[in-house]
Structure 1
Amino acid sequence: MHIKRKGWLLWIIAGWTLQAEAQQTASSYIATGTIRDSATARAVAYATISLFDTADNNIASTYSLENGTFKTALPQQGQYRLEISFVGYKTRELEITIGSTLADLGVLLLAPGNDYLQEVRITSRKRLVDQKPGMLVYNAENDISNKGGTAADVLRKAPVLSVDAQGNVSMRGSSNLKILVNGKYSGQMARSAADALNMMPADMIKSVEIITTPSAKYDAEGAAGVINILTKKGTSDVSGTLEASVSNMEQMLNPRLSLSGAKWNINFAGHLHRLRRKSAEITDRNTLSGTTVTNRLQQSIEKDNAAPHGSADLTVEYIINDASELSLGINAWTGKWPDYRHAGTIVSMPDGSITEQYLQDIASAGNYLGADINLAYNRHFKRAGQQVTLQVQNSPSRDLSDYDAVQTSAGKDLLYREINNSKTQNREWTFQADYVHPLNAKGTFHLETGAKLILRNVGNRYAVSASDPSDVHALAPQPDRSDHFRYSQDVMAGYAMLRLNLQRNWFVESGARLEATYIKGNFVYSGNAFDNRFLNVVPTATLSKKLDESSTFTLSYTKRLTRPYIWDLNPNVNASDPKNIQSGNPELQPEIAHQAELAYGLNTGKAFFLNTSVFWKQTNNAIVEFMETNAEGISFTSKQNLAANRQFGLNLSSTAQLSERWTANGNVNINYFDYNSTALSILRSGWGAEINLNSTYKLPRSFSVQAFGEYDTRQVTLLGTLGRRYYYSLAAKKEIKKARLTVTLAAVNLFTKYVSQADEKQRPTFISSVDNRYYNRAVKLTVNWEFGGAQRQRKELKRIDNNDINVQGKG
């Protein structure tokens, strides 16, 4: 890697940005400060700060931010009364004198009040969906149906997103996403987002940020966008939750514990889960020679697997002093995700005569073990809004993916056997620095800049043994299909971004990110090797206009890319099904996407919220899963750079308070896809839509009921179409407040034995139809018990958007 030689790349953007000069005005006076808990010294977020003049007129009000800081403008110098209040604390009043343009009031302490000591619990009144520049926020903790579910269930109800029956997530029709947890890269998500989401309990999720047009601060990875999952944190001395759930499809236990001291905070969350996954595939494929059918493949596959797995998440935060914090985060996971299949295959000629007929049992193991270990340091400077954050993360993991395929005749005679032993080890380091600098005294003009270094080293050993032609019971090594694949991917990045709050409620954010990527791969036994390097400049821009207190227009643009990972590149051939062979592609290149979006947000408070956006996306050199067949009807599938595609779309997300007891929210996504592949001589286009509705009604005596439904229409793909899909659930909840118990009974697809989804493909050499059947009908009972001190939950409030607002793996 050429880090030293290319180090200048990290700061090329910051260099020109730092030459910019801010035009400052001093039309008002600014008061700043930091609110902290007098007992724990922790920042108090969203405290109300009010200022009164000598005539006791309220002349300014604001709220403290996540880090406890606040800033408010005053019309003139003089004496003022400052009042600070927040649920669970005694209201504090003090007299202040403003004598200069910028007055820093320092650290202001709040003492816990009697309502906190007596454990008075406050119920959050947040909407389910909020809007920020470039993103929508789904407040998952306010949705009762998320009790006893997983992160996949949470994302299924979030705006813009779609989750299929296997847990694979897509945004606006694309699964090339970056999924973060608390703003940090997750090796678990990168390896397999579908598996990782099923290993995260819904109860630990506070909210989900759906970032459709990420700023330059975010990695360029993820052509479709970024999902940031934010988890809950305790705020009392000792608190926790114990949740247990049981159903015919899954059983889980989720403990969560939070401890707080004078200068530290510890949060632990565990997850033990056994998930049943049952499905079937019925394939009918005709091989063509011109317009003539040369053979026909009929295949049925049944799967019924149980996947035991678990994860643990530990975070430790330590307040060094009023300006500095240190945090340690450890997330570890382990599990077994088997894929046992029983298949029946028939190959016939056009006249109906059978040329091949056999049964097959495939035992495929997926054993995972991994962790993300993150250490972060954050320092706030005396100047309000100025801060630096340093992070280092290590993400080791191990993956054992073997299969044993046994092929027999209808009479159970052995015809063929093949074993593929595959072991993957990943060692990954990430180093990151971010800096925020206010460029004027009023805090309306900010520079954000930073650098990042990612070092990935992956090794995959695979060895194949197969039946000897002379004796099918004897296994012979297959040296041409065995090797040791070594792969490294190093990414250096630097970014700079300007954020400016203008007069008349205009907001501008503009930046650029520079990423240099170095890739090397070699095959130890065969001696083959490859390397590649590329440089990407990623510009981003956002322009927002607040029309009034309830409505905002936002126009944004971003450029994104998706890099192939080892699972996409590894040529280890999966021939467990000899009629459907899969492998990676070492020659795969990154795809580049450009996206523009115009959004309108209407927020009338608790009663009604609406976000609507129209978007355009152009993807060049798109990574697509491509299938082709040979004359014998055997299909070969791998990812290829074969097409460009354009996409136009409309997104609608709305939340309404229909009555004091009844709330409803829904999302509608309408997309137009236009595929163009010169290499394949393909031009395809068509419309698709996704819609979901969610409604909750509060009954007397602490009962509530909820209904959710989702429907996806047929989607156009490069080679054909993906059929319609639907999902629905019903839930009833009872809160026993004195015992701090919540009991939830939920049903999923109660009146449907299985959900069928057709996958149609057509090329000059074949016509294929696959009927996928997903058996996910379930009835689930969940009991949730909270213990310990009261949670000082945040109030519903309007926030100043002072912050801008990682790869979908195989599923």
Structure 2
Amino acid sequence: MMKRTVLFICMALLCTGFRANAQKAANPGIIVTGVVLDSLTGKNIEYPTVAIFTDSLKLIKAVAGGADGKFTIEAPREGKYVLSASMIGYSNSKNTLLLEGGIKKYDAGTIKLLEGMQLKEVTVVAVKPLIKNEPDKLTYNLESDPQTSSSALVDILRKVPMLSVDGEDVVRLNGETNFKVLVNGRSSGLLVKNFKDAIKSMPASTIKSIEVITNPPAKYDAEGIGGIINIITNRKDTQGYSGSISAGANTLGGFNGGGYISAQVGKFSLSTNIYSGKSVSKKSSNFNESENYLSDEFRFSRSESEYGSESMFNNASIEASYEIDSLNLLTLSGWGYLGNSTSTGITNFIAYDKDHVMSRKYSNNTTAKSQYGSGSGSVAYQKTFKKPDQNLTFSYSIDASPMNSDITNTVDPEFNYISYSKHSVNNASGIEHTVQADYYDPLTKKHFIETGIKYILRQNTSDSEVKVLDENSGNWVDDPTKINDLDYDQHIGSMYGGYVFKHKSLTAKGGFRMEYTLNDGISKSHDGNIEFTNKQFDVVPYVNLSYMLKKGNSVTASFTQRLNRPGIWYLNPYVNDTDPMNISYGNPNLETVRRNSVTLGYRKSSQKWNLNLSLNGNSTKNNIERIRRVGENGVSVSTYENIGINRNLRLNFSYSYRMGEKFSIYLNGSTGYATISSAELGLTNDGFSFNGGLGGSAGLWKKGSFNFNAYVYGGDISLQSRYPVNYMTSFGFSQRFLKDKLTFSIFVSEPFTKTKKFIYDSQDVTYKMHSENISYRRSANFSLYWRFGKFNVNVKKARKSATDDRMSGGAQGGTATP
């Protein structure tokens, strides 16, 4: 009896197990698949977060999508669910699923996410990544940097990977000072010569992001040896209306204020940004000593200077669009910057002969006033076809960049020199007209093409007037022997073609750009006019291969060529002899420079951190070099010449980690080895250069954060010079109030030292020079930033104009939770 009972119980348990297994087999999970895309560009969003919830929004499971945006997730059984996709910098989606009818697999199709928009139904807990890596470019999001609200743009540029800013605020991209600067994808004359002045005065809060494009595709102009820096100023695309007001001041005496607003009436959308202010550079000093091997009388010299400056600046931008219908869009934009500065200084100069006996001594008092600016406008019409993303765009833009200087200097001799006073005025300007047409067609899911044509007319002029003081009459008298003027026109006609092939994890891009250049100019001086004309035809190739490995890893390889067409600032023959012992002028006979560039890259992206490594090699045969020559009279004369052979190998790296708003850190830098030589001058220079930055932010208390930054740079060389190692530090605090609408920030630059010393050495077979510049760098910056608004409207743009590269890579990294 006992045995029968045990046997019965075992059979019952076994049957129960069979029944349970049968029920489990009869109710398997349901596989849900789909793909996540950007709603505006149609691009696949890499590594999205996809989650499935009960109909009461209780989380069941979350997975990470692939590099192509595709995902697979399992629902436990039939029923009603909520499917949500999310990505850093995008709004969350919310789709209701009804799984029934005994299905085993369900295709959710395409899920589109809108960038930067918050929906009422879903709470977005993600923030944009500080750094976003793509195959062709790197994007630094200022909206994710807590220091943005209290800093000038120059302070933010120090943090951007592949960029470096030295002690004189000179920016380098991949170690090069020659690069193309775009504002919202369009050329800006201001940011060619006056880039240093503009970034010191421009509040970082007016900028949305900075794109660094080291290997630009064929659709971009081939100008800019180092690559392209694209500054995106249009802050938000929103619905209803929104805006911001900001104000700031610093302990040096500078201040700024401005605002942004976006609104829409019917099909008309408008977005505008405006700011103005003042920047101050306190008294700085410069020490210079040199040895002139060609002169016995002026073998040794020494000069000491003190100077200071103040600048006022104003900026305004506007972005407007009118949606004629669902397939036709008209876009209008404008951008303008106007600045002026006044600087005063005194230089004491003394020279000695070979026996160290004084041979010359004088002082030079200088007052310099300058006005500079840029104004640009564009209009674009886009025709969109019924096929998704196929479009044709026509656009016209105009850019004007005046640069006027007014310099008065008085030389007071003490020994073996003449007394004189001189007043020099130079009015230079450049006007650029651009007409272009662009066409983009996604032929299939694997094949994409784009093509376009473009014509640019650049009109550059430089007019000067020089007067000297007649000491007998006390009147200013014209001195025509000092006149050096230039009228210069440049015509550029170009066309491009690009092709992209995508298959699984491989993306192959190729293209070409043909450019025909005609230069026509007249150099005018007291000795007569000199006409010059030259023509050039260039075919610029572009190849980029990208392969996505597993777990967010990818590798890239690219080859391209870049051109450096000298602008008015290099060509202008105007002689600046404000300092009679240091004279400089441009060279109207400069030729276009061609550089070959090869890049290998690796990037790793995850939901919290990003790593980017790239190795770049490039070479140039006729590089433009600034050449200094010292005569027997001790006078240093500087100009530009095509005499350099430049070869450069550079390793770039960047790493960023972000844990929501609680903590973030970044580390970036580069090291390179360069060789520069000139057979004509018999000179060779080589050496290692490096730059890097480390910084981060931490939320130490409720709605408050602390941020810190440190930078190091040095070793950059030219044919005749070398720069030593320098460093900079900063830290700041920010606090949010009133439901995060108001932000108060404090940012301290150079907290550990009041002044910084920057050293510069230069030499060749005729001279040796050592310079030291000491400038006041410590400052505390205070700012208030107020956000307002309720909803926003998209300020739609003609997406396939000069402002967009549709065949570039997609976004990366991020977390979001419904």
Q: TM-score scaled by structure 1?
A: 0.84
Which position in structure 2 is the counterpart of 1:422?
426
Q: Verify the 8 A CA contact 2:335 2:376 in the aligned structure 1.
A: yes
Which position in structure 2 is the counterpart of 1:513?
513
CA distance in 2, matches of 1:792, 1:591: 44
> What are the ranges of 5 or more consecutive residues in structure 1 without an aligned counterpart?
1-53, 97-102, 794-800, 806-811
CA distance in 2, matches of 1:109, 1:768: 59
Following superposition, the deviation at residue 83 of structure 1 comes to 7.5
Residue 197 of structure 2: SS of its match in structure 1?
Answer: helix
Structure 1 residues 185-264: aligned runs within 5 Å: 185-231=187-233, 232-249=235-252, 250-264=254-268
Structure 1 residues 449-468: aligned runs within 5 Å: 449-468=451-470
Residue 480 of structure 1: SS of its match in structure 2?
Answer: helix
Following superposition, the deviation at residue 427 of structure 1 comes to 2.4
Residue 568 of structure 1: SS of its match in structure 2?
Answer: helix
Following superposition, the deviation at residue 90 of structure 1 comes to 8.7
Following superposition, the deviation at residue 262 of structure 1 comes to 3.5
Q: What is the letter of the counterpart of residue 539 of structure 2?
A: V
Q: Verify the 8 A CA contact 1:121 1:791 in the aligned structure 2.
A: no
Q: 1:410 to 1:65 in 2, by over 3 A?
A: farther
Following superposition, the deviation at residue 437 of structure 1 comes to 1.5
Which position in structure 1 is the counterpart of 2:34?
60
1:479 aligns with 2:480: yes
Q: 1:708 to 1:791 in 2, by over 3 A?
A: farther
Which position in structure 2 is the counterpart of 1:560?
562
Q: What is the letter of the counterpart of residue 512 of structure 2?
A: A
Which position in structure 1 is the counterpart of 2:632?
631
Residue 437 of structure 1: SS of its match in structure 2?
Answer: strand
Residue 192 of structure 2: SS of its match in structure 1?
Answer: helix
Following superposition, the deviation at residue 123 of structure 1 comes to 5.8
Which position in structure 1 is the counterpart of 2:618?
617
Q: What is the letter of the counterpart of residue 643 of structure 1?
A: G
Q: Verify the 8 A CA contact 2:622 2:645 in the aligned structure 1.
A: yes
Query: C-alpha offsets along residues 151-174 of structure 1, whole Å, 9 cap, x if unaligned?
Result: 222221100101123432111211
Following superposition, the deviation at residue 410 of structure 1 comes to 6.0
Residue 769 of structure 1: SS of its match in structure 2?
Answer: strand
Q: 1:114 to 1:647 in 2, by over 3 A?
A: closer
Residue 330 of structure 1: SS of its match in structure 2?
Answer: strand
Query: C-alpha offsets along residues 600-637 of structure 1, whole Å, 9 cap, x if unaligned?
Result: 0011221x211011110102200111101000110000
Which position in structure 1 is the counterpart of 2:292?
287
Which position in structure 1 is the counterpart of 2:682?
681
Residue 208 of structure 2: SS of its match in structure 1?
Answer: strand
Q: What is the letter of the counterpart of residue 389 of structure 2?
A: G
Q: What is the letter of the counterpart of residue 337 of structure 1?
A: S
Q: What is the letter of the counterpart of residue 726 of structure 1?
A: Y
Residue 300 of structure 1: SS of its match in structure 2?
Answer: strand
Q: Verify the 8 A CA contact 1:464 1:478 in the aligned structure 2.
A: yes
Structure 1 residues 317-328: aligned runs within 5 Å: 317-328=321-332
Q: 1:769 to 1:162 in 2, by over 3 A?
A: same
Residue 552 of structure 1: SS of its match in structure 2?
Answer: strand
Query: C-alpha offsets along residues 172-221 of structure 1, whole Å, 9 cap, x if unaligned?
Result: 21110101111111122124211232343211222211111111111000
1:366 aligns with 2:370: yes
CA distance in 2, matches of 1:353, 1:360: 22
Q: Verify the 8 A CA contact 2:312 2:339 in the aligned structure 1.
A: yes
Following superposition, the deviation at residue 332 of structure 1 comes to 1.5
1:143 to 135, 145, 161: 145
Q: Verify the 8 A CA contact 1:245 1:781 in the aligned structure 2.
A: yes
CA distance in 2, matches of 1:742, 1:777: 23
Structure 1 residues 705-784: aligned runs within 5 Å: 705-738=706-739, 740-784=741-785
Following superposition, the deviation at residue 266 of structure 1 comes to 1.1
> What are the ranges of 5 or more consecutive residues in structure 2 without an aligned counterpart?
1-27, 46-68, 73-79, 100-106, 795-804, 810-818
Following superposition, the deviation at residue 237 of structure 1 comes to 1.2
1:379 aligns with 2:383: yes
Query: C-alpha offsets along residues 507-557 of structure 1, whole Å, 9 cap, x if unaligned?
Result: 100111011111111145622211111111111100111111310000011
Structure 1 residues 96-115: aligned runs within 5 Å: none
Q: Verify the 8 A CA contact 1:432 1:450 in the aligned structure 2.
A: yes
Q: Verify the 8 A CA contact 1:414 1:472 in the aligned structure 2.
A: no
Q: What is the letter of the counterpart of residue 239 of structure 1?
A: S
Q: Verify the 8 A CA contact 1:149 1:201 in the aligned structure 2.
A: yes
Q: Verify the 8 A CA contact 1:177 1:222 in the aligned structure 2.
A: yes
Which position in structure 2 is the counterpart of 1:51?
none
Following superposition, the deviation at residue 59 of structure 1 comes to 1.7
State the percentage of identical aligned residues: 26
CA distance in 2, matches of 1:109, 1:581: 58
Q: Verify the 8 A CA contact 1:295 1:632 in the aligned structure 2.
A: no
Residue 396 of structure 1: SS of its match in structure 2?
Answer: strand
Alignment size in residue pairs: 725
Q: What is the letter of the counterpart of residue 687 of structure 1?
A: F
Q: Verify the 8 A CA contact 2:127 2:660 in the aligned structure 1.
A: no
Following superposition, the deviation at residue 285 of structure 1 comes to 0.9
Which has the larger displacement, 388-397 or 689-698? 388-397
Structure 1 residues 127-142: aligned runs within 5 Å: 127-142=129-144
Residue 404 of structure 2: SS of its match in structure 1?
Answer: strand
Q: What is the letter of the counterpart of residue 218 of structure 1?
A: Y
Which position in structure 1 is the counterpart of 2:10?
none
Which position in structure 2 is the counterpart of 1:267?
271
Q: Verify the 8 A CA contact 2:242 2:788 in the aligned structure 1.
A: yes
Q: Verify the 8 A CA contact 1:302 1:341 in the aligned structure 2.
A: yes
Q: Verify the 8 A CA contact 1:572 1:584 in the aligned structure 2.
A: yes
Q: What is the letter of the counterpart of residue 754 of structure 1?
A: T
Q: 1:113 to 1:158 in 2, by over 3 A?
A: closer
Which position in structure 1 is the counterpart of 2:539?
537
2:807 to 798, 803, 807: 803
Which position in structure 2 is the counterpart of 1:312?
316
CA distance in 2, matches of 1:575, 1:113: 56
1:152 aligns with 2:126: no
Which position in structure 1 is the counterpart of 2:181?
179
CA distance in 1, matches of 2:339, 2:267: 35
Aligned residues: CA RMSD: 3.2
CA distance in 1, matches of 2:83, 2:171: 46
Which position in structure 2 is the counterpart of 1:797?
none
Q: 1:193 to 1:556 in 2, by over 3 A?
A: same
Q: What is the letter of the counterpart of residue 654 of structure 1?
A: Y
Task: Tell which structure's C-alpha radius of gyration is larger.
Answer: 2
1:298 aligns with 2:299: no
Following superposition, the deviation at residue 594 of structure 1 comes to 0.8
Residue 153 of structure 1: SS of its match in structure 2?
Answer: helix
Which has the larger displacement, 383-392 or 701-710? 383-392
Q: Verify the 8 A CA contact 1:121 1:792 in the aligned structure 2.
A: no
Q: Verify the 8 A CA contact 1:406 1:414 in the aligned structure 2.
A: no
Q: Verify the 8 A CA contact 1:90 1:113 in the aligned structure 2.
A: no
Q: Verify the 8 A CA contact 1:121 1:790 in the aligned structure 2.
A: no
Q: What is the letter of the counterpart of residue 38 of structure 2?
A: S
Query: C-alpha offsets along residues 299-354 of structure 1, whole Å, 9 cap, x if unaligned?
Result: 11222111011111111122222122211111122110233222111122233322
Following superposition, the deviation at residue 107 of structure 1 comes to 14
Q: Verify the 8 A CA contact 2:117 2:238 in the aligned structure 1.
A: no
CA distance in 1, matches of 2:297, 2:224: 41
Which position in structure 1 is the counterpart of 2:53?
none
Following superposition, the deviation at residue 65 of structure 1 comes to 3.7
CA distance in 2, matches of 1:273, 1:547: 49
Residue 576 of structure 1: SS of its match in structure 2?
Answer: strand
Which position in structure 2 is the counterpart of 1:6?
none
Q: Verify the 8 A CA contact 1:310 1:335 in the aligned structure 2.
A: yes
Following superposition, the deviation at residue 418 of structure 1 comes to 1.1
Following superposition, the deviation at residue 358 of structure 1 comes to 1.6
CA distance in 1, matches of 2:704, 2:141: 21
Which has the larger displacement, 144-153 or 779-788? 144-153
CA distance in 2, matches of 1:233, 1:436: 25
Query: C-alpha offsets along residues 709-767 of structure 1, whole Å, 9 cap, x if unaligned?
Result: 00013333311311222111101111114361101111000221221121111111111
Following superposition, the deviation at residue 592 of structure 1 comes to 1.2
